Structure 1
């Protein structure tokens, strides 16, 4: 017997659907609004949630974070109306198990529901993420658990994996976890920094060379492809590859064969491919900046890592773990923390994600190594100021004190990071204004902005914005 939650404001549907669930031997819970759905999710352990997109108090997808954080992380089936052509795309992009179009007849509901329950049972029988070797991967947020579940699936195969996520989210850690939990763990994990590959030497670096192939080649040398034979080849920042190097990679990925520079015979390499990027490769491919055929080979399994601001419940654990490591490295006593210290950390947006958090903690430790307990005053001013802005005690445009401004000028970020952050700030402000103008109604926001509801939902999720009224 399964426990099913139907979130829909139609009382007639409640009765007919309840009768169907009783015939199937399941228990039905009903919520007529997002808020009632939240209360039920907090109170009951559910297996499947059938979620209508159009509810009296907002857009149905606003309930997804609560569903993912609920006990047992129930599967989601999206219910769409006939007048909603974007419904199917939204269901897929939101990670829902399936979607059903109204009217909800027994024939339309029974098979997707049965399949979702079968999938849930199979997922429970898999190797749980807790038994994975996950060194330095810290966190128990539902979004992280979902990523670790994908790591377990990837480790049991030789399929190519694409790890995506913002800078600093830990893409290489996840790539190493896939390798460490696979049958190839006894062989090499070879990292290729795609952003640093020199185009003039790429064939020598990747394929190797024989003695005398060019000036300075005084002996045979294996390339990175050969070093990865039997192990894992990790292509870091693959979105930075030039078109010429993309073609070079594709040739080898097709059959695993290559010829060292200066050699007359081909070699082969049996490696497992894992790639990582912070860029949208699909958008790049559509714009002609990335090869479609290479993208198809990379994304057999895709793991999208959440930004730190999307899993604030992990910040305390991350901070304690890393501060203890730092204290051990520098030979210092373990630090204590005031509760307010964590509150300020959780209020900050962490544009550089976990890497940004760890860098900040090291800065705090080195500046206040003699303090036995850390308080908010020990954190950098820009982090404390954002806390004040969140609580309304400081205006967004308020100037920093002179000494803070001096330190900010001294820490100028690279142009590429600055441009990305500036663009994100503009997008965030636009989306906030759009939500305010549309009063949280995604359909009206889509009409005003010219963007599809599915694209808007992606952006709202990216920036942690809620469409709740």
Structure 2
């Protein structure tokens, strides 16, 4: 018996769906607003969600990421709308919904759709139980990541080509290694080809190898990367950078699994599993003639799109704790605590460099904290703090200063005298707000002003209050 939830403010339609679901002998719940529905999704293991687009407190399509993040069971989603919209349908499909239904719809069609979705969900859960992934190296369990794990399980259970796409720093090679480590080829090699450095002159020797004497300097026979990947995985990193001439040669290798080393008269074989990754739009490259359509079809049998860090919600905190723990172990230091405002700042930053940038920022903060037991916002790089504060000012959401202004000693120290670190952090926040306002958000001037105080030998409090 499944649990089906509908989020719709149309009482008549909800009543019709309730009658249908109960006749199908499943449980039914209804919510008239997004907030009510999200609360149910947090508390109940919902199998299917019927989601209206136009709701009193928001747009269902625009709330899909919130819904997926809140859900404890990652339900199959049906989008329901009274007005068909091609752009909306495209968005829904891109987000991975099961179906896009335009009202009015027949009971027969709706029942058939629900039946198919429940059968698919049951089979998917069976596959998930059959393939237990080792995800020790991948941190995060947000809704976008759970979708990635499902696709990874498909990849691990087969030898079909996998194309991993995503922005720079999202961890494409790590995901490829994880699929390989969970596959039947895990005991064989994982061979990386850096396509960005695969020039036409080096391509044949690098990929195919050469025999002794094939060219000046070839003093011995050497196997190419394609042969080294025999029985294992060949990973094409940044495949979008591969020259057209190399694409043509590589397409034949994929089709035949045969190639001729440089200077050799006979062809040899290699039974490799192919994976590729790119941060480029290969479809757009196909349209402008810089990437072969037939090669793209070969690469994209299984497509794993990785979400940017800014869409991974609470994973930022999990990744931060993981990196801090790792740094403490590497430097033989006791575990460090992390202040909540530290996480608040990280969550407000857009992370254009994704996980790679986050780890670099965390390491910078770790070094700045020295032997201190706690990581504070003041340890984060100035560039990150400035961008977050500037964005808050522009949105009119700048955190309010405490009732006792830290720049007013008579008020700030009246009740409870704060520790120096707390006072210093609040003073730096106040100082940062003032220079952003004074420079109209000019980042270059802000950085010059913000870091100028580091050149003085006076204590920090003298920088604000002047000589005593």
TM bucket normalised to smaller: 0.7 to 0.9
Query: How far does residue 88 in structure 1 lie from its aligned partner after superposition?
Result: 3.8
Query: How far does residue 164 in structure 1 lie from its aligned partner after superposition?
Result: 0.7
| Aligned mates of 2:174, 2:449 — CA distance in 1 | 35
Query: How far does residue 236 in structure 1 lie from its aligned partner after superposition?
Result: 0.4
| Aligned mates of 2:189, 2:242 — CA distance in 1 | 23
Q: Deviations over 1:247-305 (max 9, x none)?
A: 12111111111000000000111000010011111121122221100000011111111
2:180 equivalent in structure 1: 179
**Does the CA-based 8 Å contact 2:199-2:243 persist in structure 1?**
no
Q: Deviations over 1:340-382 (max 9, x none)?
A: 2222222211111110011112222223322221111111112
Structure 1 residues 312 and 101, CA gap change in structure 2 (3 angstroms): closer
Paired residues for 1:334-353 under 5 Å: 334-353=335-354
**SS in structure 1 of the partner of residue 362 of structure 2:** helix
1:52 equivalent in structure 2: 52
Larger Rg: 2
Paired residues for 1:206-245 under 5 Å: 206-245=207-246
**SS in structure 2 of the partner of residue 29 of structure 1:** strand
2:25 equivalent in structure 1: 25
**Does the CA-based 8 Å contact 2:84-2:102 persist in structure 1?**
no
**SS in structure 1 of the partner of residue 63 of structure 2:** helix
| Aligned mates of 1:230, 1:265 — CA distance in 2 | 20
Structure 1 residues 253 and 144, CA gap change in structure 2 (3 angstroms): same
Q: Which has the higher contact order (CA 8 A, sep 6+)?
A: 1
**Does the CA-based 8 Å contact 2:49-2:75 persist in structure 1?**
yes
Query: How far does residue 312 in structure 1 lie from its aligned partner after superposition?
Result: 2.7
User: Among 400, 404, 421, which residue is 2:447 paired with?
Assistant: 404
**Does the CA-based 8 Å contact 1:129-1:152 persist in structure 2?**
no
Q: Could you say what the CA RMSD is over the residues aligned between the two structures, in angstroms? A: 2.3
Structure 1 residues 7 and 290, CA gap change in structure 2 (3 angstroms): same
Structure 1 residues 32 and 338, CA gap change in structure 2 (3 angstroms): closer
| Aligned mates of 1:167, 1:303 — CA distance in 2 | 15
Paired residues for 1:88-167 under 5 Å: 88-127=89-128, 131-167=132-168
2:425 equivalent in structure 1: none
Q: Deviations over 1:318-359 (max 9, x none)?
A: 112112222222333332222222222222111111100111
**Does the CA-based 8 Å contact 2:211-2:220 persist in structure 1?**
yes
| Aligned mates of 1:33, 1:377 — CA distance in 2 | 40
1:249 equivalent in structure 2: 250
Answer yes or no: is 1:392 the counterpart of 2:398.
Answer: yes
In structure 1, list runs of 5 or more residues that go unmatched: 409-469
Which shifted more, 32-41 or 196-205? 32-41
| Aligned mates of 1:130, 1:142 — CA distance in 2 | 19
Q: Deviations over 1:159-188 (max 9, x none)?
A: 100111110011000000011000101110
**Does the CA-based 8 Å contact 1:8-1:31 persist in structure 2?**
yes
Query: How far does residue 4 in structure 1 lie from its aligned partner after superposition?
Result: 1.3
**SS in structure 2 of the partner of residue 153 of structure 1:** helix
2:415 equivalent in structure 1: none
Paired residues for 1:70-469 under 5 Å: 70-81=71-82, 83-127=84-128, 131-388=132-389, 389-390=391-392, 391-392=397-398, 394=433, 397-400=440-443, 404-405=447-448
**SS in structure 1 of the partner of residue 247 of structure 2:** helix
**SS in structure 1 of the partner of residue 200 of structure 2:** coil
Query: How far does residue 45 in structure 1 lie from its aligned partner after superposition?
Result: 3.0
TM-score after normalising by structure 2? 0.82
Query: How far does residue 44 in structure 1 lie from its aligned partner after superposition?
Result: 3.5
Which shifted more, 59-68 or 314-323? 59-68
**SS in structure 2 of the partner of residue 134 of structure 1:** coil
**Does the CA-based 8 Å contact 2:131-2:157 persist in structure 1?**
no
Query: How far does residue 53 in structure 1 lie from its aligned partner after superposition?
Result: 2.6
Query: How far does residue 87 in structure 1 lie from its aligned partner after superposition?
Result: 4.7
**Does the CA-based 8 Å contact 1:347-1:386 persist in structure 2?**
no
Structure 1 residues 97 and 362, CA gap change in structure 2 (3 angstroms): same
| Aligned mates of 1:117, 1:314 — CA distance in 2 | 29
| Aligned mates of 1:259, 1:326 — CA distance in 2 | 47
| Number of equivalent positions | 408
Structure 1 residues 401 and 374, CA gap change in structure 2 (3 angstroms): farther
**Does the CA-based 8 Å contact 1:41-1:66 persist in structure 2?**
no
**SS in structure 2 of the partner of residue 89 of structure 1:** helix
